[in-house]
């Protein structure tokens, strides 16, 4: 899973949200798929399913707005159309308005690499069809769409298992790890401040969710590492609630922080959290505390997370500050549903009229 996170998030930002919004990788509507002379037996049966695909919650099949499927455009031995559809339902199933059609799964000049072309549109605007294209690696576990991302009918299972087993950071929300949200954050990163607010709101709006914060200070920043180490000491001395109070105090003064004013700001945050500044400062310099922060950084690397902030929800990598909140909440609830968890989603109070 090395380096998957940044590519997944980058795909989401730069290609209309490959992992969340996924309106289409590219915007060339009605572009023709490449014709090939021979259809692979492995994809022939699956390719017979020419009706548009949509989330399973839709009762009525939509009118087909897509070009007819040409079976000559299915030459790769894998993946099958059914496997691609299963993957896309993982990505897009939260959106009842989206429909799609797999137009081609073809061999490429790279051995074992398949090119997949998908048409997408919305039931409310069937005249606006987009063309998406990505490549599947020979192992069948990864897709390349502006970067390497997870692929398969359960693409997030491996990372979910890793998170459930390894996360040990400060937490809030539900006691169960069934719906586990892991926020990789950097106290000195302005986007992490926004991400913390979003994640805390998700916990309020989805009571079944448990939020765990893991430290991911910026590469090479001794200041960010020190801020994380002091946060770990606050937690060790005063508990998880104090840690969150410490973090919020730092976030509130972030704009005025400089290398000269940092320690004073950290001391003030420690006091605001109810701990002793001198004790925390001494604790932060110990090998044991540094090892905790380093273990968190190592966990991020193992999960493919290489920059903060990132929210990992049951293994699914999400950018917490680059997606509208209501959509993000829908994706979290949908991921819970995929994992067999019945969630009770509270209204987003800030949006109520």
Token pair listed for 25 = 């990788």
Query: Contact 88/134 with Cβ under 8 angstroms?
Result: no
Buried b (16+ CB within 10 A) or exposed e, 164-185: eeebebbbbbbeebbbbbbbbb
325: helix, strand or coil: helix
299: helix, strand or coil: helix
CA-nearest of 213, 231, 216, 179 to 302 is: 216
The rounded distance, in Å, linking the Cα atoms of 233 and 228 is: 9
pTM above 0.95, yes or no: no
Q: Note the Cα 21 to chain centre separation in Å.
A: 11
Q: What backbone torsions phi and psi does residue 346 show, to the nearest 5 degrees?
A: -80, 155
The rounded distance, in Å, linking the Cα atoms of 279 and 264 is: 14
- Output the CA torsion sign for 271, 295, 222, 181: negative
On the question of pLDDT at 15 being above 60, the answer is no
Confidence grade of residue 102 (pLDDT, cut at 50, 70, 90): very high
Higher pLDDT, 259 or 139: 139
Digit-coded pLDDT (tens) for 43-101: 344 444 445 666 655 555 556 889 888 999 999 999 999 999 999 999 999 998 999 99
The rounded distance, in Å, linking the Cα atoms of 33 and 225 is: 50
Strand 171-173 to 142-144 pairing: unpaired
């Amino acid at each position: 899973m090395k380096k998957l996170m940044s590519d997944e998030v980058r795909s989401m930002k730069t290609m209309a949200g490959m992992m969340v919004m996924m309106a289409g990788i590219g915007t060339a509507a009605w572009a023709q798929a490449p014709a090939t002379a021979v259809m692979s037996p492995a994809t022939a049966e699956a390719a017979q399913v020419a009706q548009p695909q949509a989330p399973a919650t839709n009762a009525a099949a939509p009118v087909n707005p897509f070009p007819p499927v040409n079976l000559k455009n299915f030459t790769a031995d894998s993946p099958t159309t059914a496997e691609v559809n299963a993957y896309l339902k993982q990505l897009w199933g939260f959106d009842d308005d989206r429909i799609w059609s797999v137009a081609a799964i073809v061999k490429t000049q790279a051995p074992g690499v398949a090119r997949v072309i998908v048409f997408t549109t919305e039931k409310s605007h069937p005249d606006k069809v987009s063309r998406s294209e990505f490549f599947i690696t020979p192992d069948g576990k990864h897709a390349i769409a502006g970067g390497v991302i997870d692929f398969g009918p359960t693409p997030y299972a491996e990372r979910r298992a890793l998170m459930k087993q390894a996360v040990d950071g400060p937490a809030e929300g539900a006691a169960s790890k069934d719906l586990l949200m892991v926020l990789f954050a950097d106290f000195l990163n302005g986007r992490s401040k926004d991400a913390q607010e979003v994640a805390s709101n998700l916990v309020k709006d989805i009571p079944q969710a448990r939020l765990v914060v893991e430290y991911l200070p910026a590469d090479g920043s001794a200041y960010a590492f020190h801020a994380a180490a002091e946060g770990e000491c606050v937690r060790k001395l005063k508990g998880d609630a104090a840690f969150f109070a410490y973090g919020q105090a730092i976030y509130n003064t972030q704009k005025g922080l400089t290398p000269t004013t940092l320690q004073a700001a950290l001391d003030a945050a420690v006091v605001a959290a109810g701990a002793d500044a001198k004790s925390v400062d001494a604790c932060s310099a110990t090998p044991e505390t540094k090892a905790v922060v380093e273990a968190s950084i190592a966990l991020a690397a193992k999960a493919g997370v290489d920059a903060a902030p990132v929210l990992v929800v049951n293994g699914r990598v999400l950018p917490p500050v680059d997606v509208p909140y209501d959509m993000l909440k829908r994706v979290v609830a949908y991921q819970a549903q995929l994992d067999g968890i019945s969630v009770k989603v509270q209204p987003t109070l800030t949006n109520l009229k």
